[in-house]
């Protein structure tokens, strides 16, 4: 009977050790889980901050690029745009004549008389 009683006491102590160890492990798991949640929240905050910073930097770069574009290629005045438009219209008008001449299928597109008239007009304007 004493051996049963001693065995009961020993089993009871072992049970208390196991329950105590279980509680300690549960506490460690809870702490670790809490740390993981905190770490994930911190990582999310870091990622969100980096995203906002990158977005701000991208906007700054785009603004700088636009500023440089306007410095390098300023918007031309209306007179210049009109002149450029008329120039290209003239080029398109004379392309067929010059093309035939350059291919050797037609004479020089402007007669000598036209050149003299043009030169006289330029001299009179000067």
Residues 58-80 pLDDT 10s: 999 999 998 888 777 777 889 99
Taking residues 52-56, report their average pLDDT. 96
Whether residue 29 sits in one domain with residue 70 = yes
> CA-to-CA distance for 89 and 54, rounded, in angstroms?
46
* Of 74, 101, 120, the domain-final residue: 74
Q: Which domain holds residue 85?
A: 76-111
Length of the chain (residues): 126
Q: Tell me, what's the pLDDT at 124? A: 59
Please state, for a pLDDT cut of 90, what percent of the chain lies above it: 55
Q: Same domain, yes or no, for 70 and 82? A: no
Please tell me the pTM assigned to this model.
Answer: 0.41
Within 8 A by CB and 6+ apart from 98, the residues are 109
């Amino acid at each position: 009977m004493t051996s049963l009683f001693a065995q009961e006491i020993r089993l009871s102590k072992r049970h208390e050790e196991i329950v105590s160890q279980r509680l300690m492990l549960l506490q460690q798991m809870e702490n670790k889980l809490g740390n993981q949640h905190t770490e994930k929240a911190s990582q999310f905050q870091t990622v969100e901050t980096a995203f906002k910073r990158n977005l701000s930097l991208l906007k700054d770069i785009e603004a700088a690029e636009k500023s440089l574009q306007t410095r390098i290629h300023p918007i031309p005045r209306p007179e210049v745009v009109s002149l450029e438009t008329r120039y290209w219209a003239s080029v398109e008008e004379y392309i067929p004549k010059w093309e035939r001449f350059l291919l050797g299928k037609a004479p020089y597109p402007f007669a000598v008389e036209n050149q003299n008239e043009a030169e006289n007009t330029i001299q009179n304007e000067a």
